[in-house]
């Protein structure tokens, strides 16, 4: 039983009136689960998220099953999914082979996943940053030729478990390369959750100074040190209007062991609602969805808002 309740809106001057949430639970949230989730459950999860009001739901990944067994059923998920008009269902692709598989499955939007640091690029993609950009170039070009929208993820934007703090200029340069390849949007990831609001604002200001339009920038925060909501607020104050979040706070990163869960979508919506910012997502319906998913995973949701409203 989900208790009723929403925060009393108190608008904060200078913030956007509306924020688009990129819901990453079905892909980024589930990719680290040790027990393989049934395809039918994944499909129902996505459809529940859309029914709750989400218009961007990252559906799956066409990474080789050897590397992410949890998402080996990408083709089946898209085949069974009742895709609604006006809703975007991006899928992650690692390379040209992944693109071809995604196109064959009928994907209309793809995402590539790069790194701002050399060590993580080698560990995640077995390539240098420059080599990964060379690999992405034909993927992005091929997607654009087919009329597909392309998102570029950039991981380790604030800290790297092997390299430590990441220079902002380094992040800005790699972000510029992704946009230069033709990505419609880039998502700046705090993969291990070490960023603080001042760092977030400084990086965004640097990007703007370099000519990047914040309408093309999303933020993707992990809550390792409890900073995800504060960092989101800093990004909104800078002008960002796209925020990645995961229903119930699911997810981590299979190649960065210190990365705990993503920012919980429910926690984000509670904050945004309190700030008078529209999202179009029904919080009560989303909480019900996260409770349902937690039951299927066999553990309670880590989201504070889910626990508060469903308790």
Catalytic residues: 253
Burial of 214 (0-12, 13-18, 19+ CB in 10 A): middle
Task: Give the span between the Cα atoms of 151 and 190, in whole angstroms.
Answer: 16
Burial of 14 (0-12, 13-18, 19+ CB in 10 A): exposed
Closest CA to 190 of 176, 204, 178, 206: 204
Closest CA to 116 of 160, 61, 162: 160
DSSP 224-273: TTS-HHHHHHHHHHHT--EEEEBGGG----TT-TT--PBPBHHHHHHHHH
* 109 strand-pairing partners: 149
Q: Three-state SS for 121?
A: helix
Residue 18 is classified by DSSP as B
User: Cα–Cα–Cα angle for 223, 229, 232, nearest 5°?
Assistant: 110
CA dihedral 62, 83, 298, 248 (to 10 degrees): 90
Structure tokens given for 224: 């390792």
Please state, in angstroms and as integers, the Cα–Cα distance from residue 60 to each residue in 28, 70, 212, 260, following that order.
8, 10, 28, 20
Phi, psi of 120 (to 5 degrees): -70, -35
Task: Give the span between the Cα atoms of 118 and 124, in whole angstroms.
Answer: 10
């Amino acid at each position: 039983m989900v208790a009723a309740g929403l925060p009393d809106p108190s608008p904060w001057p200078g913030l956007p009136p509306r924020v688009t949430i990129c819901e990453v639970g079905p892909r980024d949230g589930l990719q680290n689960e040790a027990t393989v989730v049934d395809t039918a459950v994944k499909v129902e999860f996505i459809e529940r998220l859309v029914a709750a009001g989400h218009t961007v739901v990252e559906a799956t990944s066409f990474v080789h099953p050897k590397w992410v067994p949890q998402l080996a059923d990408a083709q089946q998920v898209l085949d069974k999914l009742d895709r609604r008009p006006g809703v975007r269902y991006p899928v992650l692709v690692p390379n040209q082979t992944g693109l071809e598989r995604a196109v064959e499955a009928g994907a209309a939007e793809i995402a590539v996943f790069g790194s701002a640091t050399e060590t993580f690029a080698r560990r995640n993609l077995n390539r240098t940053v420059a080599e990964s950009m060379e690999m992405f170039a034909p993927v992005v070009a091929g997607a654009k030729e087919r009329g597909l929208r392309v998102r570029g993820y950039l991981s380790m934007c604030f800290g790297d478990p092997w390299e430590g703090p990441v220079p902002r200029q380094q992040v800005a340069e790699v972000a510029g390369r992704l946009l230069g390849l033709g990505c419609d949007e880039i998502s700046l990831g705090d993969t291990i959750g070490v960023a603080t609001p001042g760092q977030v604002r400084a990086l965004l200001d640097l990007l703007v100074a370099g000519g990047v339009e914040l309408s093309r920038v999303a933020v993707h925060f992990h809550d390792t040190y409890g900073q995800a909501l504060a960092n989101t607020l800093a990004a909104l104050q800078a002008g960002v209007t796209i925020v990645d979040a995961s229903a119930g706070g699911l997810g981590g990163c299979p190649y960065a062991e210190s990365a705990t869960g993503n920012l919980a979508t429910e926690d984000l919506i509670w904050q945004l609602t309190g700030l008078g910012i529209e999202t179009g997502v029904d919080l009560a319906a989303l909480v019900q969805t996260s409770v349902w998913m937690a039951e299927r995973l066999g553990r309670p949701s880590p989201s504070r808002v889910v626990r508060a409203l469903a308790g």
